[in-house]
Amino acid sequence: MAYDKNNVFARILRGEIPCKKVYEDEFALAFDDISPQAPTHVLVIPKGEYGSMDDFSENAGDAEIAGFFRAVGRVARQAGAVEKGYRFLSNCGPDAHQEVFHFHVHVFAGRELGGMIRRPK
Ligand code: AMP
């Protein structure tokens, strides 16, 4: 799928839409999810144009991949989530209900997070 430069996270990166920024470096931007599912629910996105985990893992450079995942860890650490624990995940494609087609990782923390995968109703 071609990358859509007008997806909502691309617009956040360009400053066209506001976000509640919690972390930024050369490789990544992190901000609060607009519809949080845990007391801490942060989205971490790479600065490059990658539509999904599939695209990012195949096409990003080694420095981008390393920098991005280091940023994910920093976001969790900065949130004070390491001791009690946190979960990070990325939805990729239709079965995973990916809604925004700029690669992103969700970081959840701040409560007991339950089982790993919720069964469909
Ligand atoms: P998904 O693509 O399924 O991993 O989910 C996309 C996530 O982006 C959802 O959790 C939304 O609540 C979140 N989201 C959508 N628009 C915004 C926005 N403008 N600012 C922050 N989070 C957003």
A 10 A CB-CB count for 31 gives: 20
pLDDT at 109: 98
Q: Which atom of ligand 1 is nearest to the CA of 90?
A: 4
Select from 13, 14, 88, 100 the residue to mutate for testing ligand 1; criterion: most ligand atoms less than 8 Å from CB: 100
Q: What is the residue-wise DSSP string for 36-55? A: -SSSEEEEEEESS---SHHH
pLDDT at 119: 77
How many whole angstroms separate alpha carbon 30 and alpha carbon 15? 13
pLDDT at 120: 76
8, 31, 97 from 5: Cα distances, Å:
9, 19, 20
Residues in the ligand 1 pocket, defined by CB under 6 Å: 8, 17, 19, 33-35, 43, 91, 97-100
Q: Is this model's pTM higher than 0.85 or not?
A: yes
Q: Give the dihedral sign, CA 106/107/109/115.
A: positive
Give the H/E segment covering residue 78: helix 62-78
Cα dihedral 105→111→112→116 (10° resolution): -20
Contact call for residues 104 and 13 (beta carbons, < 8 A): no
pLDDT at 117: 82
How many whole angstroms separate alpha carbon 4 and alpha carbon 111? 34
Residue whose CA is at the smallest distance from ligand 1 atom 3: 98
The tens place of each residue's pLDDT in the chain, 121 residues long, gives: 899 999 999 999 999 999 999 999 999 999 999 999 999 999 999 999 999 999 999 999 999 999 999 999 999 999 999 999 999 999 999 999 999 999 999 999 999 999 888 777 7
